[in-house]
């Protein structure tokens, strides 16, 4: 009998495919709690949990699509049962826009944030190429996010060429507030755009592609705003950055000395996307994206800004689901025009059951400690897997890249209902 129940369990559970969505009224009782600035804990630490490439909303008309989203919510819950972040970052490709319907495309956001609202966590998003599509826009997702008082996502840079999720968040020491203290940490969020412009078509009916790099107006805003912080407080404020699509530097470092450039013990992580896809992929330098160019180099201004921002400890990206390593960019890779000055370029872990690849789902954690932050610009990072295990735990300190760490196992997880044959509208990564 017990065995029969166990076997029947999944079958009985099957008809209920709706993810319960929290009531907005409940969250509104916490009115404005995300308007309070982020702060370190009393013991001087600040932790971030990054979920990326959740890819909600695939094939709503098949059973496997909604099942994927149920599994993805479970990933978020399993990670947050074990980690206690001060902020959750949703680092792009929240929703697979090209699978969605105009009338309800942004509603998936409510499913994604359910585990965060229940835990009274606040979050901040960057948008990915799949969040910009014919039936979904960054503006639309932002509007949906802002219904929740937990949301910290903003749009600080106007203009069609900027994208949407460009903003910063200051983090203060526990005993301070915005009025009388300098921030101890700055978090920068960038929109690497890509995908397609919302509801736009060329005269021939085809959709209008959006450039897939951080725009120049955003780079200028970043540099000017950071300089204002330095001038106002008379010191460099350490920082972390989040952007969905990595820059050319990640690919250049990955292939510099062939397949073994990313070393399993010095840059522990999965390294199956070889080479990784980067900003400005698929665009020509002259602005064409007609499939004739591999990479147009338009992310050079953004890379220059990254390497000339002292105190920027690490840039975290997603997009490449089969890459989960961190690399300290501290030299000029032959063929590049921008030389690294020690910033760590990190991938996270594919968190969603949507999107390509079956690498085990999880979430990169980042933690900074005031005792090592001010002088050494150090961060700790590790990946919490859906299984509960921790892999790839490293210190992004001065010697990262020379310190030996255990290799990360290349584990896979499969969605029970996922069927390749049924996937009539495959989601390709190289769009």
Ligand X SMILES: *[C@@H]1O[C@H](CO)[C@@H](O)[C@H](O)[C@H]1NC(C)=O
Give min distance, CB of 98 to ligand X, in A. Answer: 6
Query: Is residue 127 within 8 Å of 149, Cβ to Cβ?
Result: no
Nearer to ligand X, 59 or 324 (CB): 59
Instruction: Spell out the long-range contacts of 293-298 with Cβ–Cβ below 8 A and sequence spacing 24 or more.
Output: 295/248, 297/248, 298/211, 298/213
Minimum CB separation from ligand X for residue 32, in Å? 27
Tell me how far, at minimum, the Cβ of 380 lies from ligand X, in Å.
8
Give the interface segment with ligand X, choosing from 4-12, 85-93, 250-258, 395-403 (CB under 6 A): 395-403
Among residues 259 and 399, whose Cβ is nearest to ligand X?
A: 399
Choose which of 398, 415, 427, 431 interacts with ligand X (CB under 6 A). 398
Shortest distance in whole angstroms from residue 25 CB to ligand X: 19
User: Of the candidates 122, 126, 146, 145, which has an alpha carbon nearest to the alpha carbon of residue 218?
Assistant: 126
In the complex, minimum distance from the CB of residue 216 to ligand X, in angstroms, rounded to a whole number: 29
| Alpha-carbon dihedral sign for residues 101, 106, 107, 110 | positive
What are the DSSP calls for 226-274, one per residue? HHHHHHHHTSPPPEEEEESSPPHHHHHHHHTTGGGSS-TTTS-S-B-SS
Q: Considering only residues 263, 304, 395, 413, which one is a binding residue for ligand X as defined by CB under 6 A?
A: 395
Sheet of 362-369, strand order = 123-126, 87-91, 45-51, 362-369, 379-385, 390-396
Applying CB under 6 A, the span of 297-305, 325-333, 383-391, 392-400 interacting with ligand X comes to 392-400
Helix axes 138-146, 108-118, angle to 10 degrees: 40
Cβ proximity to ligand X: between 156 and 370 the closer is: 370
| Binders of ligand X in range 34-53 (CB under 6 A) | none
Q: Which is nearer to ligand X, 159 or 406 (CB)?
A: 406
- Give whichever of 220 and 425 is closer to ligand X, judged by the CB atom: 425
CB of 140 to ligand X, least distance (A): 12
Distance CA 5, CA 191 (A): 48
**Angle subtended at Cα 202 by Cα 245 and Cα 320, rounded to the nearest 5 degrees:** 15
Q: Cβ 144 to ligand X, closest distance in Å?
A: 11
Of 33 and 61, CB closest to ligand X: 61
Shortest gap between Cβ of 145 and ligand X (angstroms)? 15
Alpha helices (H) in 18-91, listed in sequence order: 24-28, 64-80
Task: By CB under 6 A, name the one of 16, 224, 399, 421 that touches ligand X.
Answer: 399
**Which residue bears the tokens 């890459």?**
323
Q: Report which of 368, 364, 367 is spatially closest to residue 382, judged by C-alpha positions.
A: 364
Nearer to ligand X, 107 or 230 (CB): 107
Applying CB under 6 A, among 96, 135, 254, 381 the residue interacting with ligand X is 135
- Residue 153 tokens read as 């996502």
| Choices 79-87, 224-232, 383-391, 394-402 (CB under 6 A): range interacting with ligand X | 394-402
Residue selected from 123, 134, 213, 316 as contacting ligand X according to rule CB under 6 A: 134
How many angstroms separate the Cα of 217 from the Cα of each of 33, 124, 160, 253, 284?
A: 31, 21, 10, 27, 20
Which positions ≥6 away from 314 have C-beta within 8 Å? 240, 241, 326, 343, 344, 345, 346, 366, 379, 381, 396
Block residue for tokens 């509801």: 199
Q: How far apart are the first and last CA of the chain?
A: 51
**Closer to ligand X by Cβ: residue 57 or 170:** 57
Q: Which of residues 68-107 bind ligand X (CB under 6 A)?
A: 98, 101-104, 107
Nearer to ligand X, 398 or 427 (CB): 398
Stretch that binds ligand X, among 163-171, 178-186, 247-255, 396-404 (CB under 6 A): 396-404
Is there binding between residue 60 and ligand X (CB under 6 A)? yes
Closest separation in Å from C-beta 56 to ligand X: 8
For residue 161, give both structure tokens: 């060429």
Residue with Cβ nearer ligand X (405 or 418): 405
Q: Kindly state the smallest distance separating residue 16's Cβ from ligand X, in Å.
A: 14
CB of 142 to ligand X, least distance (A): 17
Residue with tokens 């120049």, as numbered in its chain: 216
Name the one residue in this structure whose structure tokens are 């206690």. Answer: 84
Considering the rule CB under 6 A, would residue 397 count as an interface residue with ligand X?
A: yes
| Residue 17 structure tokens | 């495919």
Residues 185-224 that bind ligand X (CB under 6 A): none
Given a contact cutoff of 8 angstroms between Cβ atoms, the answer to whether 240 and 187 are in contact is yes
Which residues of the shown chain bind ligand X in the complex (CB under 6 A)? 60-61, 98, 101-104, 107-108, 134-135, 395, 397-399, 403
């Amino acid at each position: 009998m017990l065995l029969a129940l166990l076997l029947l369990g999944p079958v009985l559970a099957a008809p209920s495919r709706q993810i319960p969505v929290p009531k907005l009224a409940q969250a509104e009782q916490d009115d404005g709690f995300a308007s309070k600035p982020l702060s370190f804990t009393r013991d001087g630490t600040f932790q971030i949990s990054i979920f990326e490439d959740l890819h909600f909303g695939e094939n709503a008309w098949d059973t496997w699509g909604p099942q994927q989203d149920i599994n993805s919510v479970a990933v978020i819950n399993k990670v947050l049962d074990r980690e206690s972040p001060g902020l959750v970052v949703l680092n792009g490709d929240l929703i697979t826009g090209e699978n969605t319907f105009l009338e309800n495309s942004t509603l998936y956001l409510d499913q994604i944030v359910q585990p965060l609202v229940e835990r009274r966590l606040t979050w901040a998003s960057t948008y990915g190429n799949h969040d910009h599509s014919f039936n979904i826009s960054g503006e639309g997702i932002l509007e949906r996010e802002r219904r929740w008082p937990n949301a910290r996502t903003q749009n600080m840079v106007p203009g069609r060429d900027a994208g949407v999720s460009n903003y910063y968040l200051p983090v203060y020491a526990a005993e301070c507030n915005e009025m009388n203290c300098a921030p101890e940490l700055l978090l920068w969020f960038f929109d690497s755009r890509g995908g397609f412009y919302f509801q736009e078509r060329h005269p021939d009916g085809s959709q209008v592609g959006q450039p897939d790099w951080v725009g120049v107006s955003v780079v200028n805003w970043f540099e000017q705003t950071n300089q204002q912080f330095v001038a106002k407080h008379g010191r460099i404020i350490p920082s972390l950055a989040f952007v969905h699509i990595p820059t050319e530097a990640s690919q250049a470092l990955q292939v510099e000395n062939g397949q073994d450039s990313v070393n399993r013990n010095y840059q522990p992580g999965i390294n199956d996307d070889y080479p990784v896809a980067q900003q400005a992929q698929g665009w020509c330098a002259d602005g064409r994206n007609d499939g004739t160019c591999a990479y147009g180099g338009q992310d050079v201004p953004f890379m220059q800004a990254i390497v000339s921002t002292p105190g920027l400890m690490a840039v975290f990206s997603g997009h490449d689901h089969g890459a989960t390593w961190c690399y300290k960019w501290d030299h000029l890779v032959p063929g590049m025009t921008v030389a690294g000055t020690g910033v760590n370029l990190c991938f996270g872990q594919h968190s969603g059951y949507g999107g390509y690849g079956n690498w085990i789902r999880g979430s990169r954690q980042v933690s900074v400690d005031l005792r090592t932050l001010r002088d050494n610009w150090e961060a700790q990072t590790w990946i919490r897997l859906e299984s509960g295990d921790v892999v790839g735990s490293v210190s992004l300190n001065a010697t990262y890249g020379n310190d030996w760490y255990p290799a990360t196992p290349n584990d896979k997880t499969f969605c029970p209902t996922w069927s390749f044959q049924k996937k009539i509208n495959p989601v390709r990564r190289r769009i």
